[in-house]
Structure formats: structure tokens, C-alpha cells
Amino acid sequence: MKTQARRRGSIAVGAVAFIAGVLFATSASVFAGQETSRPRDLSGLVATESKRLTERNAEVEELRGEVQLLEESLDVVVEAPSEAEALALGLGAVRGPGVRVTLDDAPPSAVSDVADDLVVHQQDIQGVVNALWYGGAEAMTIQGQRVVSTTAVRCVGNVLLLHGRTYSPPYVIEAVGNVEDLVAAIDHDAAVAIYLDYVEAFGLGWEVDEVDELTLPAYSGARTLNYAVPSPENHDRRTQ
């Protein structure tokens, strides 16, 4: 009987390891694919990859569910994260008072010799995000998506690429925390001050609203990390 139980446990452990491997492979292959089938234009490429990422995330969530069931069948005791860890990982929704910051491109009537003067840039969004963290934000969202430690704010052309999805302005950032501290951090941030110069000069959109209660959803994206590695050719050159 003990031998049979041990065999069942070994099979279940192997299944968990296999599915975990699939999770990593799925995450790493999000942006892999047939180069010849990709659109040549930037907007088409972003739209195609965004769709593929959505499909992969759905697969990852399904596999996570299978892993959880196998862990439960093995009576594996998984230590629950601390409150601070759960908050940093975005594992649950957060409610409370906070601020809502909206940034937008200049109106069509605005004129400048430099087209970049009339649009919201990556550094503008990042400046607001950094100011809110500095002001003690407990949790934050951009365009309704929870911001976590692996979140990267990137602009592709004139759109925002966030967690594999694309967004056009206006860009809405919400943060839960002490409202007075959050507003003060925004008012004294150097990067935000630069953006406000363009607001004044070219009419870029800017609004800061104090909200009695915000509800920020839990993070629902992939939690695995992708990273670059040197090619074998470059590695061989370094070791010579």
C-alpha cells in the first residue's frame, strides 16, 4: 500500500513539474512565431501580438488552475504570502480613497513645429507613476490594469503598450493612498512639472481628481519573467 501511494505521489509531482514547465514555455513563446506571417506595419504588428498575448494568458490561467488542483491532491502546504507581498504582487483588489490622473494629447487645433510637442509620451506617464509611488501609493492602475513590479510603461508609435495590450489616449492612472500625500507628490515632481510646461504651451490634457473611493482590480497577467541571454557566438568570443 505504501509503495502504491508513493507511486501515485511521484506521478502527481511529475505532472505538476510538467505543467509548470509548460507555463514557462508558454510565457517565453508569447512573442515567438513565424516571421513571414507577421504584418509589416507597426500598428498591425502590435495588434497581432496583442491578440496572441491575450490567447497565451488564457492558456496560462487554465494551466495554473490545473497546477493548483494537483497541489491540492498532494496535500501540498503552500505558505500564503504576507499582506505586503500580496499587495506588491497585486493578488487582490484594493479599495480606498485616492487620486485619478488623466493625460491626453493636445486638441486638433494645437500647432507646433515639432509634432512630438502635441502628444503624451512614455516619460510623461512614467513620471506620474513614479510620483504616485513616491507619494505612498498602496496600489495603482493604468488604463484599468493593475501595476505590479514587472509592469513596463512603453509607447509604440503613438499608443501605449501595457501588459501586451495597446491603448490610445486619454491615459488614466488611478492610485489608492493618502490623497493629500499623493497630490503633494504630483505637485512637487520634476518630471510632472516638465509635462505641465507642455500643457501650458500646447494644451496637452491634464486633470487630477481626488476620489473618495477607488476600486483597483487584482493583477491578471503572467507572472513569469523573460530575459535576454547572450548568443552562443558572442559567448564563445568572450571565453577565447
- Contact by Cβ (8 Å): 15, 70: yes
Whether the per-residue pLDDT at 215 is higher than 60: the answer is yes
Nearest residue to 138 (alpha-carbon basis) of 172, 83, 175: 175
* Domain-wise residue ranges, the chain: 2-73, 83-216
* Per-residue pLDDT at 130: 96
Conformational region of residue 59, where left means phi above 0, alpha means psi within -120 to 50, and beta covers everything else: alpha
More confident residue, 19 or 203: 203
* Per-residue pLDDT at 153: 87
Question: Where is 102: in which H helix or E strand?
Answer: strand 94-104
The whole-angstrom separation of Cα 228 and Cα 240 is 22
More confident residue, 100 or 44: 100
Bridge partners of 171, per DSSP, are: 103
Question: Where is 238: in which H helix or E strand?
Answer: helix 232-239
Cell numbers given for 58: 488564457
Whether the per-residue pLDDT at 237 is higher than 90: the answer is no
pLDDT band at 173 (very low <50, low <70, confident <90, very high): very high
pLDDT, mean of residues 57-86: 70
Question: Helix 42-73 vs helix 2-28: angle between axes, to the nearest 10 degrees?
Answer: 170
Contacts of 53 (CB under 8 A, 6+ apart): 30, 31, 163, 164, 165
* Per-residue pLDDT at 106: 95
DSSP state of 144: T
Whether the per-residue pLDDT at 94 is higher than 80: the answer is yes
- Domain 83-216: give its CATH architecture: 2-Layer Sandwich (3.30)
User: Rounded to a whole number, what is the largest CA-CA distance in the chain?
Assistant: 81
Whether the per-residue pLDDT at 235 is higher than 90: the answer is no
More confident residue, 175 or 22: 175
Mean pLDDT, the chain, integer: 78
pLDDT, mean of residues 62-75: 72
pLDDT, mean of residues 130-157: 91
Sign of torsion over alpha carbons 162, 217, 52, 66: positive
Cell numbers given for 11: 506521478
pLDDT, mean of residues 202-209: 97
**In angstroms, what CA-CA distances link 109 with 106, 118, 175, 203?**
8, 10, 32, 9
